[in-house]
Amino acid sequence: MAPPLPFSAPGPVLVGMVHLPALPGAPAHTLPMDRIVRRARDEARALLDGGFDAVLVENYGDTPFHPGPVPPETVAAMSRAVASVVDVAGDHPVGVNVLRNDARAALGIAAATGARFIRVNVHAGTMWTDQGALTGRAWDTLRVRTTLAPNCAILADVHVKHATPPPGSTPEDAARNLVSRAGADAVIVSGTGTGEPTDPDRVRRVAGAVPEAPVFVGSGATPDSVAGLLTAGASGLIVGSWIQTGGRAGAGVDPDRVRTFVEASRSVQFAPRDP
């Protein structure tokens, strides 16, 4: 049986990104772990104090990403950072995304830290990316979840950003497969890349294809676009670029931009979908 989603918010669910700097082993790694952990804690606190409902931690600085399993040093470093974020988050749910597509590592980190959801870029099917062809391992991920983190929800991308789907694959078909055959608990719709706007019509099409599952917007949400995305059928927004300094992903969370975004989203007349 799938776990219930860990989010409880009167309006749209707002998930704020903590973009970790390059971790040990990554080509751009420079900061000591103490500073990385402190920055993650501070950013999570700024997100939650500003009104966000949840936090999602990912190894954003680790480019170029591994196409398969990440090495032990990445799992160790992320576990330390995520545990610190869970500690400051209290009752707010914390999630994990291990880039580029290591769902098993994400579940392991969740099991060790108490994180309550993971994001999986390619959970089912195949996408062509700058790491090559990435193929989902839903069959393995769901079995591992049963033993490691049975209460951890899976948020899966529909035609994930920075990637090209195979010919003939539509967002609607991909979403239906993710939910009905691959066991995703919610789906994510994004633009073409980090910070790129998500098309409200694409959200509407996916929401219509999977009325039983929540749909999250995974990129490009701004105070100006919130209303259109929510009225198109989004149940929640995963926000990174706009709420960071200068609107640049990885630049660090800006508390003033966090408050501006929250005010804009809470002002929208929101009618949650009833799967």
User: Per-residue pLDDT tens for 198-215?
Assistant: 999 999 999 999 999 999
Whether residue 1 is predicted with pLDDT greater than 80 in this model: the reply is: no
Regarding pTM above 0.85, the answer is yes
- Tell me: the pLDDT tens digits for 10-52? 779 999 999 999 999 999 999 999 999 999 999 999 999 999 9
Over residues 60-79, the pLDDT tens digits come to 999 999 999 999 999 999 99
Residue 11: what pLDDT?
77
Q: What is the pLDDT of residue 4?
A: 79
3-state helix, strand, coil in the chain (%, to 5): 35, 15, 45
Residue 271: pLDDT over 90: no
DSSP states along 161-225: SSEEPPTT--HHHHHHHHHHTS--SEEEE--SSTTPPPPHHHHHHHHHH-TTS-EEE-S---TTT
Whole-number Cα distances in Å, 17 to 83, 158, 167, 251, 255: 15, 19, 31, 11, 13
Q: What CATH code is assigned to 13-266?
A: 3.20.20.70
Owner of token pair 């983190």: 149
What is the spatial distance between Cα 219 and Cα 61, in angstroms, rounded to a whole number? 17
Domain ranges of the chain: 13-266
**Overall average pLDDT of the 90-117 stretch:** 98
Q: What mean pLDDT is reported for the chain?
A: 95
Give the per-residue pLDDT at 27: 98
